[in-house]
Amino acid sequence: MLKIDIETCIGCGVCEEECTFGAIEVIDGVAVVNEKCTLCGSCVDSCEVGALSIDSKEKAVQVDLAEWSGIMIFAEYRHGKVVPVSFELLGIGRELADQQKVTLSAVLLGSGLGGAARDLVSYGADIVYQVDDPALEYFTDEIFGNILEDVVREQKPEVVLAGATAIGRSFIPLVATSLATGLTADCTQLAIRPDDGVLLQTRPAFGGNIMATIECPFTRPQMSTVRPRVMKAVQQDLNRKGEIINYQPQPERLQSKVKVLRSVLEEQDQVNITEGEIIVSGGRGLDNEKGFELIKQLADAVGGAVGASRAAVDSEWIAYPHQVGQTGKTVNPKLYIACGISGAIQHVVGMQSSETIVAINKDPHASIFDVATYGIVGDLFEVVPKLIEKIKERRG
Amino acid sequence: MNIIVCIKQVPDAKDVRLDPKTNTMAREGVESIMNPFDRHAVEEAVRLKEQHGGTVTVLSMGPPQAEAILREAVSCGADEAVLVSDRAFAGADTWATTYTLGKAIEKTGPFDLILCGKQAIDGDTAQVGPGLAKRLNIPYVSCVRKITGFENGAILLHRLMDDGYDEVEIPLPGLLTVVKEINEPRVPSLKGKMKAKSLSIRILNAEAIEADPDSLGLPGSTTQVVKVFAPEFKGERAMLEGTVDEQVEQLVNKLEPYL
Ligand SMILES: Cc1cc2nc3c(=O)[nH]c(=O)nc-3n(C[C@H](O)[C@H](O)[C@H](O)COP(=O)(O)OP(=O)(O)OC[C@H]3O[C@@H](n4cnc5c(N)ncnc54)[C@H](O)[C@@H]3O)c2cc1C
Ligand SMILES: Nc1ncnc2c1ncn2[C@@H]1O[C@H](COP(=O)(O)O)[C@@H](O)[C@H]1O
């Protein structure tokens, strides 16, 4: 609980200003805390007279932190393929493992895995623990959770990462709860603090309006799910050596109360925007469905895929699989062209890591220009047709 | 079928902003609402009750003001409401939250089904549903987009996956988290509103749920927020100049490597 020493408090109001949550008010010359307080502690640091303190009695360190070493990732395998985020996890995992001078391992679960474990090695894994069993044909939280939990208990990695996919976000909380450790969802940045080896996990909150850095100081492993398309995979190296271990789960760990009867692949959109090298996106500035034709023409001219803001999707000018952003897809193409998109934070978080960003918007103050490499202030109905024409000329 | 729906009061995320200079949250005009996903959970519970009988209890952990969303849920068809509230709960991460909710649910009596939203729009973690199921040792399915049947004590449903959907069977008691596609929540009825107004809400504090004080709130949390900040951008902001033709010409030159 936040303690305010009313003798010491001078009612200066610095803490009131500092509080992100509106939880402190100076009333009659002293600071008063209300129930909005989340005990984040920023006011404590801001108080110059030291009137504030948080009463969170020093926690007994729950585990011997030094016993836990190594970086482990969960490699997702579905419908006969390793899901791309697994390679991205190996990319960031490799970085963290090299920094800590520890091994990078992967846990691979499925039925009929073929050469998937070799692929993981070629993308940076030192060790792959694989279970190839018919009980793993379909994803079930319980069985996947049981096995990952058991491997973690035996191997004691300091960090466990999984993709922030439908599967990762569903069963990793079960594993973290079983292991009585912390879990941070949907991270977009990970770094290890050199002084104490603590994993700093950064993620968007409040629909992307705010970023928060979170740590798990007292328990191990430190667990995160990581947003797809944010981390970079390393170059595949088919000569890399690694160890592949067939892990044997106890038979009772392969039982699930929940039964999957059928797994249905839905017609994927023809162009998967997360894989394109060039994306041309349109927003509300296109006015109507017809306007979107222009975006498609530009996309054709540059050989790119079509993306959209949520405003365009909500207006039903284009289908949801094209939506880029917080509640759509995260993309990082080489070239992203945003036409008639204002650059709301929820859109920007989904495309800001693109190599080159072009913005075309008639409002010179639109915030999309803040993330743009090149900006054109103008009417897209004038600019885009000319752009198409010029590009066609160039390409012959 | 006795159903408990876990609902959370959240600030309307679209209004929450951090001033990058002062690092403070803009407070004006930020409304508190029922987490949008939880509305769908309430609606689904009420529909199940209408088909199969039983009661719907809504339960929320939060400050006294969270009473508002509990009453709102009652006006939309829930029967009972429980507010789990104590200063000791402040600062809880999902680990401490699931502990607290689990303890509270043990006190509210037997249930067949627990429904949660897929995620709360303040933290967007989607961890409380699965974590709570583990605390209660019951099976769960997340991201349910359709319930297709209820036979022999098991629910048949479709769960949303990244590449399609899975058809799943879950025995009760169990827990489901729901996505928005599952239904269209109804608006409160007049009768519902009357009921909501007069209903007395059961309040459970730390003592009432017989919680271990070390497992609650910030001290009971496994994770800690060390920093909050406004997202930052690295755009070069090279604005092209000249007539439209000149700008287009320059742009095409710059984009040469990609064309
Ligand atoms: C929780 C939450 C999640 C969200 N998730 C997403 C998400 O995933 N993706 C997403 O995109 N949004 C998301 N949003 C919505 C987001 O906040 C914005 O509302 C949305 O991105 C706006 O889309 P827009 O830029 O197309 O429209 P607007 O903001 O209306 O901008 C249209 C722009 O077009 C320009 N324009 C108009 N006419 C012309 C013209 N003739 N020529 C040139 N320029 C023109 C205008 O100057 C304006 O800047 C989310 C919001 C919330 C609250
Ligand atoms: N404090 C709370 N009280 C009741 N239910 C909650 C609370 N926090 C989370 N939940 C439930 O858990 C779901 C997921 O929340 P979260 O894991 O925080 O994203 C929500 O949609 C609610 O159903």
Q: What does the pLDDT look like over B164-201, one tens digit per residue?
A: 899 999 999 999 999 999 999 999 999 999 999 999 99
pTM over 0.90: no
Tally: H helices and E strands in chain A: 10, 22
> CA dihedral in degrees (B175, A176, B100, B129; nearest 10)?
-30
Residues with CB under 6 A from ligand 2: B 6-8, 35, 37-38, 41, 60-62, 94, 97, 101, 116-117, 119-120, 123, 125-129
pLDDT the model gives residue A269? 56
Q: Is B94's CB within 8 Å of A79's CB?
A: no
User: What is the pLDDT averaged over residues A219-233?
Assistant: 94
SS3 A385: helix
The DSSP string of A289-343 is HHHHHHHHHHHHHHT-EEEE-HHHHHTTSS-GGGBBSTTSB----SEEEEES---
| Ligand 2 centroid from CA B163, angstroms | 26
Q: How far is B134 from chain A (nearest CA, A)?
A: 6
The tokens of B20 are what? 């990058």
B79 inside domain: yes
Burial class (CB in 10 A: 0-12, 13-18, 19+), A362: middle
Integer-rounded Cα radius of gyration of chain A: 25
B102 inside domain: yes
B238 inside domain: no
The tokens of B164 are what? 């399609």
The Cα-based distances of A40 to A26, A347, B15, B232 in angstroms read 18, 28, 21, 21
Cα-Cα end-to-end distance for chain A: 69
Strand-pair category, A189-192 with A199-205: antiparallel
Type of residue numbered A65:
L
Whether pLDDT at A270 is above 60: no
The tokens of A154 are what? 């035996």
Give one word for B164, left, alpha or beta, with left for phi > 0 and alpha for psi -120 to 50: left
- B133-166: per-residue pLDDT in tens? 999 999 999 999 999 999 999 999 999 998 889 9
Q: Does A139 touch chain B (CB under 8 A)?
A: yes
The DSSP string of A94-126 is HHHHHHHT--EEEEEEESS-TTHHHHHHHTT-S
- Cβ-contact A291, A317 below 8 angstroms: yes
- B205-230: per-residue pLDDT in tens? 999 999 999 899 888 899 988 888 88
Q: Which domains does chain A have, with CATH numbers?
A: 2-54 (3.30.70.20), 65-254 (3.40.50.620), 273-394 (3.40.50.1220)
B90 inside domain: yes
CA pair distance A144, A136, nearest whole angstrom:
8
| Ligand 2 centroid from CA A165, angstroms | 19
The tokens of A272 are what? 């998967």
- Cβ-contact A317, A329 below 8 angstroms: no
B252 inside domain: no
Q: Return residues 45-74 of B near A (CB < 8 Å).
A: 63-65
pLDDT the model gives residue A181? 95
| Ligand 2 centroid from CA A204, angstroms | 17
The tokens of A238 are what? 């088919």
- Tell me which residue has its CA closest to atom 50 in ligand 1: A346
Whether pLDDT at B126 is above 90: yes
> CA dihedral in degrees (A309, A310, A313, A317; nearest 10)?
-40
The 3-class SS string of chain B reads CCEEEECCEEECHHHCCECCCCCCECCCCCCEEECHHHHHHHHHHHHHHHHHCCCEEEEEECCHHHHHHHHHHHHCCCCEEEEECCHHHCCCCHHHHHHHHHHHHHHHCCCCEEEEECCCCCCCCCCHHHHHHHHHCCCEEEEEEEEEEEECCEEEEEEEECCEEEEEEEECCEEEEECHHHCCCCCCCHHHHHHHHHCCCEEECCCCCCCCHHHCCCCCCCCEEEEEECCCCCCCCEECCCCHHHHHHHHHHHCHHHC
CATH number at residue B75: 3.40.50.620
Q: Does B253 touch chain A (CB under 8 A)?
A: no
Q: Of the ligands numbered here, which is closest to the C-alpha atom of A307?
A: 1
Closest CA to A140 of B180, B127, B151, B166: B166
Q: Does A3 touch chain B (CB under 8 A)?
A: no
Tokens 């289908």, located at residue: A319
B234 inside domain: no
Q: Is the ipTM of this complex over 0.85?
A: yes
Closest CA to A300 of A279, A317, A283: A279
Its sign, for the CA torsion A175, A177, A180, A182, is positive
pLDDT the model gives residue A179? 95
- A25-65: per-residue pLDDT in tens? 999 889 998 877 777 777 887 888 889 887 654 454 456 78
Task: List Cβ neighbours of A10 (8 Å cut-off, separation of 6 or more).
Answer: A49, A51
CA pair distance B154, B76, nearest whole angstrom:
26
B213 inside domain: yes
CA pair distance B142, B162, nearest whole angstrom:
13
CA pair distance A41, B45, nearest whole angstrom:
39
pLDDT the model gives residue A60? 45
Which residue has better confidence, A46 or B232?
A46
Which residue has better confidence, A243 or B219?
A243
User: How sure is the predictor about B21, in pLDDT bands with cuts at 50, 70 and 90?
Assistant: low
Which residue has better confidence, A346 or B100?
B100
B136 inside domain: yes
**CB of A307 closer than 6 angstroms to any ligand 1 atom:** no
pLDDT the model gives residue A268? 61
Strands, sheet with A305-308, edge to edge from the N-terminal-most edge strand: A305-308, A278-282, A335-339, A356-361, A374-377, B238-239
Other CB atoms within a 10 A radius of the CB of residue B184 amount to: 9
Pocket test for ligand 1, best of A329, A341, A358 (most atoms within 8 A of CB): A341
Type of residue numbered A266:
E
Give one word for A156, left, alpha or beta, with left for phi > 0 and alpha for psi -120 to 50: left
User: What is the pLDDT averaged over residues A183-208?
Assistant: 92
The tokens of A239 are what? 């000569």
User: What is the pLDDT averaged over residues A272-286?
Assistant: 89
Which residue has better confidence, A274 or A227?
A227
- A124-156: per-residue pLDDT in tens? 999 999 999 999 999 999 999 999 999 999 999
CA pair distance A218, B233, nearest whole angstrom:
33
Q: How far is A212 from chain B (nearest CA, A)?
A: 4
Q: How far is B78 from chain A (nearest CA, A)?
A: 27
Q: Of the ligands numbered here, which is closest to the C-alpha atom of B116?
A: 2
Q: Which of B121, B140, B223 sits opposite A182 (nearest CB)?
A: B223
Q: Return residues 73-132 of B near A (CB < 8 Å).
A: 87-88, 90-91, 93-95, 98, 121-127, 129-131
The Cα-based distances of B217 to A59, A160, B85, B106, B212 in angstroms read 13, 24, 11, 19, 11
- Give the domain extent around B218: 2-223
The tokens of A24 are what? 């402190």
Type of residue numbered A67:
E
User: How sure is the predictor about B259, in pLDDT bands with cuts at 50, 70 and 90?
Assistant: confident
Which residues of chain B lie closer than 8 angstroms to A19, CB-CB? 24
Whether pLDDT at B3 is above 80: yes
Mean residue pLDDT of chain A comes to 91
Integer-rounded Cα radius of gyration of chain B: 23
Q: What DSSP element (H or E) covers A161?
A: strand A159-163
Tokens 């439209």, located at residue: B244
- Cβ-contact A93, A104 below 8 angstroms: yes
Q: Does B190 touch chain A (CB under 8 A)?
A: no
Q: Considering its fold, how many domains does chain B have in total?
A: 1
Closest CA to B97 of B74, B78, B122, B72: B122
| Ligand 1 centroid from CA B121, angstroms | 19
Q: Is B223's CB within 8 Å of A216's CB?
A: yes
Closest CA to B28 of B44, B39, B17, B40: B17
Type of residue numbered A302:
V
